[in-house]
Amino acid sequence: MRVCRPASLFLVVFALILLAFSAQAAIRSQNTPLDPKAAWNPHEDPDDLLLPMPCGQKLVLRAIAVPGGVQRDRPFTMGIGNIPKERQIYESRFESHIAASFALTDLPEQWRTHLGVRQGESFSYYFLAKYEISRQQWDSVMQALSPDGVLHEEACPRQLDRSGTLPVVGISWLDVQSFLKRYNAWLIGQQDVLPRYAQTNNIGFLRLPSEEEWEYAARGGCAVSEEDRKNQDDFLRAGEKAEDYGVFHSETSAILDAPQPIGQRKPNPLFLYDTMGNVREMVDGFFHLTIEEFNADDTLRSRLHGASGGLICKGGGFLSEESGVLPGARDEFPLYTSKGEYKARDLGFRVALAGMTTPSASRLKLLSETNAQKNVAKKEQPAKPKPQTDVTGKTEAALQLNQQGDLLAELDRVRQVASPGMRANLDQLRNMIDVREQAQNRQRLDFLENTMRSTLYQAETIRSYAFRYLEIIKELGKIGKNVTAAEKKQADAFLNDYYQTLLTAANQYKSHLERLAGADAKRVADLHAQLSQEYSGKGSLNRHMQQNLVTLSKHLAFIRNRGLSKLSSETVCRDVIPPQHLKQIQQLNK
């Protein structure tokens, strides 16, 4: 038998001691308290909006701005463009609409300073949680709050470990409703922390986001250009990978058996984390299949099927493939199974803060007036003649109508002196006119927005022409000494034709400017703010569009003061073309 020497025995004992020490250190490391913010805001940002939670927790919200004001909803395309045939009935693209219930004046004063360039009447707002609800946040509500929202501090979670930073899973849709009931009841008891509608008792409240709210925000909202939002299935730019933004199963990532702590990947353009993977997120509403059908004019459209199915979850989870974590992916889950309430280890949620669209009669009246969106000021109405009564007692109306006045206002004047039977007919007529007028106003606003977009892209066309013109001049300059007089004449003619093309592009730009200058200045300013937000991201296109917006404002101010005829095409080119390119062109043309 081999006997160990004393030195060897010492080494064995020492190794065992080190192993035991390492194990104890690992245990202590797992139990070491973490920064409390790891469970509710591991990545702080100046534009974060905070709501209190019990037990010292916070709920971090991000403002989701919707262009167009409270009453106007915005069309946007949902679903996925490039999907397998077997998934088309689930996720084919279809047009939906998005709107928000809060105007700027409904928000707490301290919140308004965090809205940046989104401030203004041209936007409405809803709010979405920056992260998926963590286990620590869940426990602080479900353990420490009674069903009616009374806090019991002795039940608060006392220490945060890694499990508290994970998104809460293994809960049902009904559990989430219990969470929202307790948390809303507690929040209402806090002092003025929620948005509030003036002169009413209505305030903002937390709920699950609708599918439209979730997907619009997950795609990047108005922080992404409308063109990209409509034509891309995600918000990724060239060279970026989905793995940088999401936790899901891919060929290059390890297979996970559980979600990761909140905020482990990059945020989307609205600084929302984990909208691609980690856990599937419940949203409010029932699942509908997507149906393709023909319109009366034989054009094809996609719509949602009439049958309501199970509940909807979005964003995919750590068990999903990459196609399942795209913003447009749609997944259905049951409220109940044969085993009871449906729960899953990859199913969680985040919350939305929203409110009533028409919280009062006065608010409804205000929104109706706003929705009219008149582009011309109402003219002063002539005095209303007194109705005359004949010998039979019948009231007659001898009115002098204002031919230039507002049609609905004139119709109301006629109604005031009409007989009861005629009033019913006039009321129907008024509703018909009102509906048509609102539709026409929306159409005019859409046309105005398309005109401004076209103007910006026309400026980009001028910029592109100028760059190509410069490159041609440079190439001709390299061979200038080796050409015949005839060849030089031909080259000069080519350059002159190209220069005329550049001026033609400038004239087209001026035509768009003329339409914008003739529109309501406030509407144009609202659109300017909207597009400034859309093109606020990184990249050369966004940088160019910001420059084009500045130039457009300069030209509109010039036209309004001095007229379109005073703005020459050469001036347009000088203002639109980048200074460094313009300087080179001028030097080479000497």
Is there a contact between 536 and 546 (Cβ–Cβ < 8 Å)?
A: yes
Tell me the C-alpha distance between 564 and 515, whole Å: 11
Which pLDDT score is estimated for 372? 54
Tell me the C-alpha distance between 446 and 453, whole Å: 11
Tell me the C-alpha distance between 220 and 217, whole Å: 5
Q: What are the strands, taking DSSP E only, across 3-145?
A: 49-52, 58-67, 74-78, 94-98, 123-129
Contacts of 25 (CB under 8 A, 6+ apart): none
Burial 334-348 (b: 16+ CB within 10 A, else e): eeeeeeeebbbebbb
Structure tokens at 140: 């602080």
Tell me the C-alpha distance between 408 and 417, whole Å: 15
List, for residues 464-522, the tens digit of each pLDDT value. Answer: 888 888 887 777 777 666 777 777 777 777 778 877 888 888 899 998 898 898 888 88
Domains and CATH numbers, the chain: 36-354 (3.90.1580.10), 376-439 (no CATH), 442-588 (no CATH)
Report field, pTM of the whole predicted structure over 0.85: no
Structure tokens at 286: 């029932």
* Secondary structure of residue 497 in the 3-state scheme: helix
Is there a contact between 452 and 527 (Cβ–Cβ < 8 Å)?
A: yes
Give per-10-residue mean pLDDT for the chain (590 aa): 40 44 44 80 95 96 87 86 82 88 88 69 89 97 96 90 95 97 95 87 95 96 85 86 91 80 95 96 92 78 86 95 92 95 97 88 67 43 47 54 73 79 77 73 84 91 84 73 75 79 87 89 88 86 91 92 88 86 67
Structure tokens at 517: 């200058």
- Cα 459–chain centre separation: 26
Contacts of 178 (CB under 8 A, 6+ apart): 142, 147
**Cα–Cα nearest to 269, from 189, 317, 327:** 327
Task: Name beta bridge partners: 292.
Answer: 302
